[in-house]
Structure 1
Amino acid sequence: MKLVVETMRRKTSGTAGIAWITGASSGIGRALAVELAREGWEVAVSARSKEDLLALEDAVPGQIFTFPLDVTNGAAVAKTFGLIEDRLGPVDLAVFSAGTYARDGVRDFHAARFSSIVNLNLLGTVHCLEVVMAQMLARGSGHIAVVASTAGLVGLPGAAAYGASKAALIAMCEALYPDLRKQGIDLSLINPGFVDTPLTKKNDFPMPFLVPADKAAAIIARGLKARRYEIIFPWQMAVAMKALRLMPARLRFAITRRMLRD
């Protein structure tokens, strides 16, 4: 009955739907929250920084709603998702973009840092998937989007932990997609190249085809609206990384070896 009432409310109010975005305090998540709100969505935003979320909510009043969360805490994820659905209604679209990056290499390879990156990028997403899939499967509808990276397509020097976490997300989505579609749930895999965010600003190496965050959000929003499985951009990076993945190992390593620092 609650779902029927909520559906009627959306039809009369003109709301596009209810979206939930993690990692929304900055970067792609923040820009996408603004883009979806502009398109008429009511957007629940989550991240660890409550202050940044409240600033985002103030910037788009009445469309964006703050729900602070550390996605590495599975119990907190379940509780927060319940609060979102109680306050706003059933979530139609969930976008999991919480993540971090730290450059690594053979001389500064540390299990603790590797674990922290995997814990946030991969297991944080898994915690969110667990609760969202259960609810969407019960309703027989919904759309889930996972932000991975073109860095997950090929192992690149300096991105052992980051690339591993993103490669795992890609493999996970490929494994889940057939069954989710069979159950009426859409799944989108978002593979950005370099996007101008606070994380990439820390990089001290050339970033080809760098995309502004607002442009990235617009590309993602169009892909989500079209219910595309893979949303990969910019096209130059997509072509380069997929070609690199298909190369024989000797040729691929000859190219990636040039990315090593002196």
Structure 2
Amino acid sequence: MALNPPLTDWRGKTVWLIGASSGIGRATAGLLHGQGAQVVVSARQAAALDAFVAEHPGAQALPLDAADPAAVRAAADSLDRIDAVVYCAGYYRPQRATAYSLAEMQQHLQVNYVGALHMLDAVLPTLLRQGHGHISLVASVAGYSGLPQSLAYGPTKAALINLAETLYLDLHDSGIGVSLVCPGFVQTPLTAQNEFQMPALITPDQAAHEILRGWAKGQFEIHFPKRFTRWMKTLALLPYRAYFPAIRRMTGL
């Protein structure tokens, strides 16, 4: 059963992607552009955005820092219309409690979660006023449950998952769709930091196709690749007496 209005025709639709300078965000923006969407890309790296626009005529670049609420609001106010907004900005550094860094914890929080709140503050009045639109938050399977090396990253993604669930409940009757994207391992500059073998690793282009396929089906949660994410979902259902030993065996940590 579709939980959202299926998004199948992107022609003439304005889609704003925050965090689109590389990885999943850039690939998704490119795929949307190819399907006729008016794509607006934002990130801190202005040069990367300009390169995207040069390769995708008609796209628009709005450089900004998602952690700056005034910049996010100004960008939103500059758009004539918003049919969909995708928050895919992300920050990741491996961290364990034995090497705790408050500065890193706060940086993850600002980019991965607080930036999404800034986006919502900027776009919700417009979406509610027009009575239609779609909000998509890119989280991670790392938000399903606690994992080694994910002390800073995982909690921010768990917060996004909860935020998306609550947004869906609050906005469904207002005609606004909400979707949650939970990728496994995707080949991006963020995951390039990992020193372990990443199971079921996929490319950003593969991720983008999965996302658009999920939107077309009206799904709330879009998780991929299934051969990995279903396993992670199953682990998260285990009682802690079984979960903790299983994670230690799997990761060696």
1:199 deviates by 1.0
Which residue of structure 2 aligns with residue 68 of structure 1?
Answer: 63
> Is 2:22 the partner of 1:26?
yes
Residues 102-251 of structure 1 aligned to structure 2 (within 5 Å)? 102-251=93-242
SS at match of 1:173: helix
1:226 deviates by 2.5
Cα distance in 2 for partners of 1:119, 1:201 equals 21
1:26 deviates by 0.3
Q: Tell me the C-alpha RMSD between the 2 structures.
A: 1.3
Selected match of 1:57 from 53, 66, 74: 53
Residue pair 1:45, 1:66 contacting (<8 A) in 2 also = yes
Which residue of structure 2 aligns with residue 43 of structure 1?
Answer: 39
SS at match of 1:19: strand
Letter in 1 for 2:41: V
Residue pair 2:12, 2:37 contacting (<8 A) in 1 also = yes
Cα distance in 2 for partners of 1:158, 1:80 equals 34
Larger radius of gyration: 1
SS at match of 2:44: coil
* Structure 1 gap segments, 5+ residues each: 1-10
1:106 deviates by 2.1
1:260 deviates by 4.5
1:225 deviates by 2.5
The structure with the greater share of residues assigned to helix is 1
Selected match of 2:72 from 52, 72, 77: 77
Letter in 2 for 1:103: P
Cα distance in 2 for partners of 1:211, 1:257 equals 24
- TM-score normalised according to structure 1 size: 0.90
Tell me how many residue pairs correspond in the alignment: 244
Cα distance in 2 for partners of 1:66, 1:260 equals 43
1:143 deviates by 0.5
SS at match of 1:211: coil
Cα distance in 1 for partners of 2:220, 2:192 equals 29
1:130 deviates by 1.4
Q: Relative contact order, CA 8 A, sep 6+: which one is greater?
A: 2
Cα distance in 2 for partners of 1:161, 1:221 equals 29
1:24 deviates by 0.4
1:15 deviates by 3.1
Letter in 2 for 1:126: L
SS at match of 2:161: helix
- TM-score normalised according to structure 2 size: 0.94
Structure 1 segments of 4+ aligned residues over 6 angstroms from their partners:
none
Cα distance in 2 for partners of 1:147, 1:25 equals 15
Letter in 2 for 1:220: I
Cα distance in 2 for partners of 1:260, 1:159 equals 14
1:31 deviates by 0.3
Cα distance in 2 for partners of 1:112, 1:203 equals 20
Cα distance in 1 for partners of 2:48, 2:118 equals 22
Cα distance in 2 for partners of 1:70, 1:19 equals 18
Residue pair 1:157, 1:260 contacting (<8 A) in 2 also = no
Residue pair 2:97, 2:151 contacting (<8 A) in 1 also = no
